[in-house]
Amino acid sequence: MDEQKNRVLLFTYTSIFLSSLSFGTGIILLPVFIQGLGGSYVDMGLVGTVRGIPMVFLVLFIGYLADRVNRSTLFTVSLLLNAPPFIALIFATEIYQIIAIQIFQGIANAILFPASDIFIADLAPKKERIKVMGRYEGSIISGVLIGPILGGIIVDLFSFEALFLTSGIITIVGGILAWGTIGRSYIPPIRKEDLIVKFSKLNIIRILPVILVMLPYGVVIAVLISILPGYVSDLGFVPMQVGFILATLSVSRMITCFNIEKIMKLGVRRVISIAGLGLTISLFFLSSQQGVIGLSIAVFIVGLFSGIIFPVVLASIPQRVPRKNIGTAMGLLSASHGLGSLIGPIGGGIIAVLWAPHVVYIVLGLLTIIMIPLSLTWDKQEK
């Protein structure tokens, strides 16, 4: 990898870390804030769902747009757009206000997530793609690791208003860093062909197994972010303890990400099957835990297996489509993830109210089994 690409990747990792740090600080503890306002599990799920709606409807357009404009500019703008919703949360005193704000947060995320995925996929050399994706996921997870702990400390020492202000400031710093560094170093791909993407060229059948794996993954991650913090808080834990338990998810995901090259020696089909089976077992285990040690161990194991999926899926897309069409393909992938983020929180909230909160994780465990048959078609289509 040449020195210029190394420099752009380093600054991109740093900017993504700061964005994830703000997310981990401000969003992970949002369900606890909702509970403090008298909100229920359905309210938590509704907030998570409205944040996921734009991910379904906007990401394909953002992916298409990324094939037409400078990807570094799109990435930088997407970072800065995430700051205003955090600042707006400072003034929220009612559930409906949080819901309205999270619609805008969802729009910002619907631009940021595919923009960053596409940008990294564009920069990653073919021979180092898995390593680059692992480090990218690691930069995301490290921010989400530190964020809940930092957020819990801020809430316990100060207030939720201070928490949201901190998240907004961190996001702005990440956007400014990207604008001052990445934008001046990135060389966009040369586009000589028609600007209109022909979907037949994307070979949908080839990327469909990859896209479908992201659906149950999106459901699981969305529930862990939108419902689990409230569930843990309901068990009697303070925000700092909630942050610690959620941080174990990021620790294990980081361990997986930084060892993803070794894990991939098992082969794509086997790795995805193991991830699906491991998620099923660990989510069943999570449903039976109520103590801090048991919850931490369960969440840690969930992180180990969920951490496999994102870098493997992300590395697979550029292998299956031309570089000029990566943006559109990534948009389809993010739309699948977004659909999971849309279904997961509201579905989890309804299940928690109608049956019991722990039943949510049993249902998630049953859902992740679908990754195993999907993996049977995946490996056959690798180049």
- Pick from 233, 254, 328: which is nearest to 32 by CA? 233
Indicate the burial class of 265 (C-beta count within 10 angstroms; 0-12, 13-18, 19 or more): exposed
Strand, helix or coil at 353?
A: helix
Indicate the angle between helix axes 95-123 and 41-57, nearest 10 degrees.
40
Residue position matching structure tokens 């069409």: 325
Per-residue pLDDT averaged across 99-120, rounded? Answer: 83
Alpha-carbon gap, residue 312 to 257, rounded angstroms: 10
Residues 291-345 have pLDDT tens digits of 888 999 999 999 889 888 877 877 777 666 666 666 667 777 777 877 887 788 8
Residues 16-35 have pLDDT tens digits of 888 888 888 888 788 888 88
* pLDDT confidence band for 359 (50 / 70 / 90): very high
Query: Which alpha helices (H) appear in the chain, and where do they start and end?
Result: 3-26, 30-36, 41-57, 59-66, 71-81, 83-89, 95-123, 129-157, 160-185, 204-226, 228-234, 239-257, 260-263, 268-287, 292-320, 326-354, 359-368, 371-378
- Pick from 283, 289, 221: which is nearest to 253 by CA? 221
Give CA separation, 349 vs 97, 121, 231, 336, in Å.
19, 34, 10, 20
pLDDT of residue 194: 47
Alpha-carbon gap, residue 119 to 90, rounded angstroms: 31
Residue position matching structure tokens 């098992």: 266
Strand, helix or coil at 284?
A: helix
Q: How far apart are the first and last CA of the chain?
A: 22
Q: What percent of the chain has pLDDT over 90?
A: 15
Domain over 3-186+204-381 is classified CATH 2.60.40.10: no
Alpha-carbon gap, residue 61 to 156, rounded angstroms: 41
pLDDT of residue 297: 93
**Which residues, in sequence order, are CB contacts of 76 under 8 Å at separation 6+?**
175, 178, 179, 182, 183
* pLDDT confidence band for 378 (50 / 70 / 90): low
List the chain domain ranges.
3-186+204-381
Residues 245-273 have pLDDT tens digits of 888 888 888 888 778 778 877 877 788 88
Mean of per-residue pLDDT scores for the chain = 80
